[in-house]
Every structure is written in structure tokens, then in C-alpha cells.
Amino acid sequence: MRARALPALGLLGLGAVVALTGCSTSSPDAAAAASDPDAPITFATTPLGDDPGAENPIDAFASLVEAETGREVEIVDVPDYTAVVEALRNHHVDIGFMSGFPSALAVNTGEVDSLIAWPGNDDPVSTCLVPDDSPLQSLEDIAPETVVAFADPASSSGYFMPVAMLHDAGLERDADYTPLFSGGHDMSFTALKEGQADVACTSTIFPQLAGTGDPMFPFEKGETRSIGESASMPVAVTVLADQQLADDKRELLLDALPNVFTEENAEELGAMMEAMQGTEPVLEPDDALFQPFVDIAAIADVDISDLSGS
């Protein structure tokens, strides 16, 4: 089942999430729903694309979780990563599927739990793409007027890791290149295709879609090339949970999710499965797992080390 979006949460940018570290509250209705053994599992997700005819792995995920848990799964569409965090902190949803950096931000508020985490592998997580006919041959060719498109200011592969890569190459945001936040990986590719950006920094997953007709990557093979790749990431993906998640739901999800994300479901889960990078899940990981993100986030001028609940 797909619920309506939560548009009000989309008004919160990354700065708002960093600032809003006070206590969250829950309504009596929310508490009652959490204690109902027949209550659906609610799952916040960001859009994965705009093609209404494309198969959505989120729907496949919901069906697989329903089969494993015997509970209905209700999908709640929200506009971006920060909205997922706020939906969890304010007890609007049970779980959210997040990449490493926004997960670290959420965990460091002290108000969101990491239910399951998939460590990264040793492969680069991000790549910076240019059109094949671009004069840019390497990161060294980037100049202050070069427009670099990023997906979302809370995206791991679409912002934090590329910014760290550019920093390691001696390039600082606003001084050595001009950043553009497109609003999503697919929008970065649109900006690149239409000449609004000179470079699009994104996940290494997307160039593999070249020539497949996938609307998320509107290029044929050979139309783009990479001028730089980032380091690997300590955590690839996390399932975050509301701290007031009912015990029965928590146990169901801890048992079910490792069985959902298996090779036999890889085709159905598509990009969701690929994002996990083939690693084994860590159940209820310690917060220390996310510490490396704090150091990388500092490069992007986002301090998540001092956030705490109250």
C-alpha cells in the first residue's frame, strides 16, 4: 500500500535537520498504532525516478517484507533524505532506507536507531561524469567557473563522497568550482545533458545503466566518461528505525530484512539491492560504525559530531 506524501517535511533542508536536535514527541494515536499487533509497518522512501511505467523496486521491497513478516507494509513517499529523518524522529513512520551519510546524521541526533547496516565494500562509491566531448579530461581541469552538479546535500554518493574526492584533489566548494544541487541523481544527469552543468557527481551504479533506456540515466554507452572516482564508503546502506518502534515490529524486521535482501530477490529489488554492495548485514550496529562519516562530513562543512538528543 502506498500512502500519501508528507509534503510539509520537504520544507526542511539539511541545515534544518542539523539545527533541530530537540526532543521529538509522539501522539497518543501514534503510540496506540505502534502497540497494535495488526498495525502495518510504515516505510518512508524518496522517489527513485519519474517514469510511471518503470518497475519500482520499492513496491517489490514492500511485497517481499509483507511475505516475510505477515504484516502489511505502508509506503510513505517523502521528497528527500532529510524528510525521511524527520519522519522517523517525529514517529510518523517505522523505518527508512538510507545511505551512509544521512544515516550517520540521523544516528548522531540520538533520536533515531540504526536497525541494520550493510558495510561498504572496497569499490569506489561515487564518480564524476562529463559528456564525452567535454574539454575536461581530469579533476585538475576543473576551474572556479566549472558547474558541478550534486544530487542532494544529504546524499552519500551524490554529495559527501564526491566533495571529499574533490577536496583530496585540492578543490574546495565555491572557491575552486561552482556547486549545483539538482535535487536528485536523475536531475543531475538532466542538468549535464542540457548543458546546465559541466560535471555530474553521482553513484557509480548509474553509468552501468547507459544504453538500457532506464530513465534514471538518459545516456547511451560512450556518451559520458568519468574524470574521477571517490574512495569506498564504510557503510553503504542502513535501515533506520523510529526509537519508539514496537518490540514485535523490531523483531520481525530484524528477522525478515536479511532474508529480503538476498541474491534470489536481486532482480526485483534492482537499485536497492545494488546499493548494498554485496556485503553481509550488521544487526543493530554500534554508533561507532558511523564515526568515519563524521570526519568526511567535516570536509563538506557539516558538523554531525556534536548532535545529540535532549
Same domain, residue pair 112 and 88: yes
- The pLDDT score that the predictor gives to residue 1 is 55
Q: Which residue has the higher pLDDT, 234 or 177?
A: 177
| Continuous segment of H or E residues that includes residue 31 | helix 28-35
Are residues 108 and 175 both part of a single domain? Answer: no
Q: Please provide residue 192's backbone torsions phi and psi, each rounded to the nearest 5 degrees.
A: -65, -45
Least confident of 36-45, 99-108, 198-207: 99-108
pLDDT of residue 35: 57
Same domain, 152 and 249: no
Is 222 found in the same domain as 113? no
- Predicted local confidence at residue 304, as pLDDT: 57
Instruction: Kindly state the DSSP code that residue 151 receives in the 8-state scheme.
Output: S
Same domain, 138 and 212: yes
- In sequence order, the 6+-apart residues with CB closer than 8 A to the CB of 123 are 204, 232, 277
- Per the structure, the count of domains in the chain is 2
C-beta neighbour count of 164 within 10 angstroms: 20
- Is residue 42 domain-shared with residue 67, that is, in the same domain? yes
Q: Are residues 13 and 112 in the same domain?
A: yes
Report if residue 309 sits inside a domain: no
- The lowest-confidence range among 13-22, 63-72, 251-260 is 13-22
Whether the pTM exceeds 0.85: the reply is: no
In a domain, residue 194? The reply is yes
Three-state secondary structure call for residue 222: coil
Q: Do both 115 and 13 map to the same domain?
A: yes
CATH number at residue 149: 3.40.190.10
Do both 181 and 283 map to the same domain? no
Same domain (yes/no): 36, 73: yes
Q: Of 229, 250, 282, which closes a domain?
A: 229
* Residue 103 to residue 106: CA distance in whole angstroms: 5
Tell me the chain's radius of gyration from C-alpha atoms.
19
> Which has the closest alpha carbon to 142: 165, 174, 176?
176
Whether the predicted pLDDT of 95 surpasses 80: yes
Average pLDDT of the chain to the nearest whole number: 83
Provide the residue range defining the domain that includes 240. Answer: 2-120+234-299
The reply to whether 214 and 178 lie within a common domain is yes
The answer on 199 and 61 residing in a single domain is: no
Within-domain flag for 261: yes
Q: Is the pLDDT of residue 33 over 70?
A: no
